[in-house]
Amino acid sequence: QVPSDPLQRRVRELAALSQQLQRVHPNVLAKALRQAVVYQDEEIVAINKPYGLPVHGGPGVKNCVADVLPVLGKLLAKARDEPLRLCHRLDKETTGVMVLARSEEAAEKIRLLFKTRRVEKIYWAIVLGEPDPAEGLVEIPIVEKEVQSHQPHYKMTLAPSYRLADEDGKVVKIRKNRDAQSAVTRYRRLTSSSACSLLELQPITGVKHQIRVHLAYGLGCPILGDHKYSHWSKLAPQKLPEIALKRLKLEQRKARHLPLHLHARRLCLPRGEGGRVELACKPPRFFTNTMLKLKLELPED
């Protein structure tokens, strides 16, 4: 049965698209990514990565960005016919700007820019609740831990350097977890409505799932559709506020089908002598449709 509500139809379409991406021939996927190119020059190619497409292979993954780079390189061939190279990664469910290199030399230069934190990365996310304060910096180390529950699983989580003492509530420095990685995320609330907010995010570091963990566990504002990090001790669908459900015309039992609303909006790369290139992608249709439903006004560029 086809849902009458446009948002629910789009959610179902996204789930179907994610499955189709794993069934299509790699050449078909490469042609689709060619249509998603937003910028290219002699050294790099930037694409708008679609929702549901993994960057790397793994269990159950038949198609990923890495596998179709040789075909995509031929489709976009300029002076030389080489496979494109990965320079960084995005999560399977994250959409937006992704940079590929035309040669290994160019890839190494771009990877070094990311490693030395010289790339400015800007994301947009629709989150539950409102961060307090509305603008700030989350600087809490992150570590991966096993969650002991009826479904044991692994999650990234916070590994703070301080805690409150049980006796007198004074701040006590904690012994650093040797596996924890430093993580810093700058955030700014752009607008709020329907018990949700649109945030602009700038990850200063690049730890796995950093934005999702800092928003959910650091600010108490999990990303809409982030079912993994909306709870700690269990794997369960995200629970949405009543007003958000009403505006989305969604029943709570259907919330499990909501996609992750995290979009890589813009990347600024240093290029040449004092120059830079700015790469930007508009949010996907499901993202902007959700904003309209929740009455979150889209910021002007």
Query: Catalytic amino acids?
Result: 91
Dihedral over alpha carbons 11, 12, 16, 19 (to 10 degrees): 60
Closest of 202, 189, 192 to residue 139, by C-alpha: 202
Round to the nearest angstrom and report the end-to-end CA distance of the chain: 39
**Distance of alpha carbon 158 from the chain centroid:** 18
Residue linked to tokens 């989580």 = 157
Q: Are strands 142-147 and 153-158 parallel, antiparallel or unpaired?
A: antiparallel
**Distance of alpha carbon 171 from the chain centroid:** 33
Tokens of 181: 């990685």
| Contacts by residues 176-180 (CB-CB < 8 Å, ≥ 24 positions apart) | 176/141, 177/141, 177/143, 179/143, 179/144, 180/141, 180/142, 180/143
Neighbours of 281 (CB within 10 A): 21
